Amino acid sequence: MTSISIGKLSDFPKGKMKKVSVKGKEILVANLDGRLYSIDDTCTHEECSLSDGFLSGENVICHCHLAQFSLKTGKVMQKPATGDVIDDEPTYKISVKRQEVFIEV
């Protein structure tokens, strides 16, 4: 695992989420009340981009079939509307040093 800079803290405003590409992975970074969390951006259902979805409290809702994942743990909070059983999302360790954001990949 290496720690890679993904930008300044100001690039990730409160209440917003953003997709970043790190080492060939698409990762969703969300700022929940000033704390950053990161999970895989690709939905484990049918691979839609979660960053095109919606924030709902501590969860992200996939815009394709409305599965919900916890941004804190990556766990499935609600199955997709199709009723399929899906996997949790991988999470990534994220840290801030001198206003710069690092992610471990």
Least CB distance to ligand FES at residue 37 (A):
18
DSSP at 44: T
Closest separation in Å from C-beta 46 to ligand FES: 4
**Cβ closer to ligand FES: 18 or 65?**
65
Q: For residues 52 and 58, which CB has a smaller minimum distance to ligand FES in the complex?
A: 52
Q: Which residues bind ligand FES (CB under 6 A)?
A: 43, 45-46, 48, 62, 64-65, 67, 80
Question: In whole angstroms, how close is the CB of 30 to ligand FES at the nearest point?
Answer: 16
CA 16 from chain center: how many Å?
11
CA 90 from chain centre, in angstroms, equals: 9
Q: Which is nearer to ligand FES, 46 or 88 (CB)?
A: 46
Please give the Cα distance from 53 to 30 (Å, whole number). 12
For the record, the structure tokens of 11 come out as 């690039």
Helix, strand, or coil (residue 77): strand
